[in-house]
Every structure is written in C-alpha cells, then in structure tokens.
C-alpha cells in the first residue's frame, strides 16, 4: 500500500517538511498583510466610500489615504460631476455640487442644529445696488427675484467676485455676539402724562426707540443711564398709568397691523466674527431630504420670529423649502462647492 512506502533518503523527508512549513508561513503572511491593509483604512477613505465615490478615483493612493490625497480625489471627482451636470442641467437649474460633502466640527458651535427657516432677500454686490442691476449682475432667475435686503449683510461688503457666495448664503444668529431682545422693569410707577421713565436696568436699550409697557406703546428720544427721556405717549395705543415692576419691552416698528420686536447684537467679538465669515454650512430640508451648501454672509433672523435661520432665494429654492419648516444645519469643509447636493 502507498501508506507503507517510506522514502529511503531521510534528508528528502526533512526537506519536504521544511518546504511545506515555508509555504504555510508565506500564505499566513499574505493573509495577515491583507487584513492589516483593511485595518489601515483612514477616515478619508471611509468618507469616500460612504459618499459613493468610485474606487477608480482613489485606488492608486491605497493602502492609506491622507487628507491631502483626499482633497485631490474630491477635487477631481467634483470636476467630473460638474462636467456631467453641465451637459444635463438647463441654464436656470440650481448649480449642483458633488455628493462628497465632509461634515466637520467648527471652532465655534452653530447656534442651532435643527430649526425653522424662512426665505431671505438678495445682498448688494456693489454700493447702493438696485434690484435690476443686481439681478443682471448675478444672473438671478425669475423665480428668485424677491427683492433686495438693502445692504451687504452682517459680514459685508461684498464685491462682484462674491456672486456665488451671495447666490447661496445662510443666516443664523451666529455666536460672535450676544443676541438680545431687551426688556426690563419700571423702577417706579408713572402716570399718564409722564415724559420720562426710569428702568431697573437700561444697559441693553439703544439711545432711542419704542417700548411697550402693558398695553401702551411709547417712543423715547434719548437715554441717560437707566432713564428713557422725551417720551411720546400712547403711540398706536392709549395712554395709561403704570406701576413699579411693570415689564418694559423694547419694540422695533409697527408694520402690517402689528409690532415687531428688536433683536440687538451686543458685545460682539471681532475675532469670532472673522472666523464665521464665509464658512460653509450644509442645510438639509427635514421634510424632503434635499440638501444645499451655503455660505455665511448674513446674520439673523430676529428672535421674535421663532425661526433659527434663513436662506437666500436660490438656496431656498434648491431644497424646495417653505417658510417656517424645519431644516438641519451642519458645518462642512471650507472648500466644499456651494449649491444643491445631489
């Protein structure tokens, strides 16, 4: 039987055994190498895979993709997607960025991660710009021509080179300042004809403005310490006497049959404000899942609106948004392309 056949040369037997162990050892090393390569995946490769970037764009950088290489890959992929979109999109369609959107943590937090939004208006791209001039310069589609905000925004001025930034911008009450709707209490009671009032604390109140005490609205023309002076009583309301400790709230203006509150920016930090300017934010419509990348160029809205932010007309249209519906907000890489995310 074959099992009973023994080699006559013991040296050959020893050699064969040694060869078999060598083959086994090499195979184990190869398997271990593959397993180490899989374990060496960086977060940049994971981001590429999660966003569906074809491996042909990044396989040459394996086994370990660095941040620098990731940026090259993303740039190449974005260029390819943009070229494809240019061949398929109509002239008035919102511009589209690639699917590669890298969510990051900001040095300073977003004011809110989820909340209600509304549509904003266009910002000037040059001094005292008219709506028609702006629409022509920025190539604004008819559906997005909803008027001008009347200034450059909180982070202006802008120039003609900021067309795409202005086209897709987002507003929130960025945390480079304290946003307040000032209110205090009367330090003493007043009668119907009083021409001044003293507050317990008027620090947050401007030099002049409108205030509300119970059902009476009044205008004051100057401020000295905690005293508001030069009162015009009963504005769009009835004059009344008021007691000590009655609430005093700053108002903004009377419009459309109702008063609007004032939201003031107090104790601003220049360094924080400089950091926020033109940072990129991914905005996701919670209702339909549509996304747009927008730039920080403006601040707001007023606290009394109950909203946390707003979008430029083009960004608003890109996610088919409605006023007062909920959106999600996330920081993304500074070099992320502005526009809708497919």
Class of residue 3 by CB neighbours under 10 A (exposed 0-12, middle 13-18, buried 19+):
exposed
Mean pLDDT of 213-236: 93
DSSP letter for each residue of 147-196: -B-SS--TT----GGGHHHHHSEEEE--TTSEEE--EEEBSS-B-TT-SE
**Largest interatomic CA distance in the chain:** 128
At 258 the three-state DSSP class reads strand
**Confidence (pLDDT) at 190:** 95
**Confidence (pLDDT) at 98:** 47
pLDDT above 70 covers what percent of the chain? Answer: 78
**Confidence (pLDDT) at 235:** 87
**Confidence (pLDDT) at 141:** 94
Q: Phi and psi (nearest 5°) for 119?
A: -80, 140
Residue 298 has pLDDT above 90, yes or no: yes
Per-residue confidence band for 11, with pLDDT thresholds at 50, 70 and 90: low
Q: Where are the domains of the chain?
A: 11-86, 102-178+267-341, 182-262
Q: Average pLDDT over the chain, rounded to whole?
A: 83
CB atoms within 10 A of CB 273: 17
Residue 240 has pLDDT above 80, yes or no: yes
CATH class for the domain made up of 102-178+267-341: mainly beta
- Tell me the pLDDT tens digit for each residue of 143-156: 999 999 988 889 98
Please give the residue that has the higher pLDDT: either 29 or 339.
339
Among the listed ranges 33-37, 247-251, 260-264, which one has the minimum average pLDDT value? Answer: 33-37
**Confidence (pLDDT) at 43:** 72
Token couple for 96 = 């589209």
Residue 268 has pLDDT above 60, yes or no: yes
**Confidence (pLDDT) at 71:** 78
Class of residue 312 by CB neighbours under 10 A (exposed 0-12, middle 13-18, buried 19+):
buried
Distance CA 278, CA 280 (A): 6
**Confidence (pLDDT) at 304:** 85
- Tell me the pLDDT tens digit for each residue of 98-121: 457 899 999 999 999 999 999 999
- Bridge-based pairing state of the strands 280-285 and 291-299: antiparallel
**Confidence (pLDDT) at 217:** 92
Contact 309, 329 (CB under 8 A): yes
Q: Is the dihedral of CA 39, 40, 46, 48 positive or negative?
A: negative
Mean pLDDT of 174-190: 93
Mean pLDDT of 180-185: 92
Please give the residue that has the higher pLDDT: either 99 or 290.
290
Q: Which residue in 86, 245, 269 sits closest to 177, CA to CA?
A: 269
pLDDT above 90 covers what percent of the chain? Answer: 57
What is each CA distance from 208 to 135, 145, 189, 327, in whole angstroms? 36, 34, 21, 36
At 289 the three-state DSSP class reads coil
Contact 321, 116 (CB under 8 A): no
Please give the residue that has the higher pLDDT: either 127 or 294.
294
The residues near 266 (Cβ < 8 Å, ≥ 6 apart) are 177, 178, 179, 180, 204
pTM above 0.85, yes or no: no
Give bridge partners of residue 170 from the DSSP assignment. Answer: 296, 311
- Tell me the pLDDT tens digit for each residue of 316-336: 999 999 999 999 999 999 999
């Amino acid at each position: 039987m074959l099992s009973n056949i023994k080699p006559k040369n013991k040296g050959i037997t020893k050699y064969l055994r040694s060869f078999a162990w060598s083959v086994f050892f090499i195979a184990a090393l190869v398997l271990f190498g593959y397993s180490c390569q899989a374990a060496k995946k960086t977060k940049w490769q994971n981001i590429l895979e999660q966003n569906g970037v074809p491996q042909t764009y990044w396989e040459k950088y394996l086994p370990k993709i660095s941040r620098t290489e990731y940026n090259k890959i993303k740039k190449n992929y974005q260029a390819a997607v943009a070229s494809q979109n240019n061949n398929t999109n109509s002239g008035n369609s919102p511009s589209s960025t690639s699917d590669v959107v890298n969510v990051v943590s900001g040095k300073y937090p977003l004011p809110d991660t989820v909340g209600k939004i509304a549509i904003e208006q266009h910002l000037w791209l040059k001094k005292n710009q008219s709506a028609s001039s702006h629409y022509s310069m920025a190539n604004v589609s008819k559906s997005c021509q909803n008027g001008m905000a009347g200034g450059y925004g909180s982070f202006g001025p802008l120039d003609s080179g900021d067309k795409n930034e202005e086209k897709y911008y987002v507003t929130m009450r960025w945390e480079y300042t304290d946003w307040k709707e000032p209110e205090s209490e009367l330090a003493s009671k007043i009668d119907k004809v009083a021409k001044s009032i003293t507050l317990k604390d008027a620090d947050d109140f401007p030099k002049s403005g409108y205030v509300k005490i119970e059902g009476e609205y009044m205008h004051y023309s100057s401020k000295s310490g905690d005293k508001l002076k030069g009162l015009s009583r009963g504005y769009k309301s009835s004059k009344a006497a008021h007691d000590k400790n009655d609430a005093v709230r700053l108002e903004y203006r009377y419009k459309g049959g109702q008063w609007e509150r004032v939201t003031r920016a107090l104790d601003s930090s220049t360094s924080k404000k400089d950091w926020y300017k033109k940072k990129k934010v991914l905005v996701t419509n919670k209702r339909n899942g549509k996304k747009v990348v927008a730039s920080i160029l403006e601040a707001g809205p007023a606290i009394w609106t109950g909203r946390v932010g707003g979008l430029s007309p083009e960004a608003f249209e890109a996610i088919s948004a409605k006023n007062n519906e909920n959106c999600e907000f996330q920081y993304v890489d500074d070099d992320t392309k502005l526009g809708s995310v497919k």
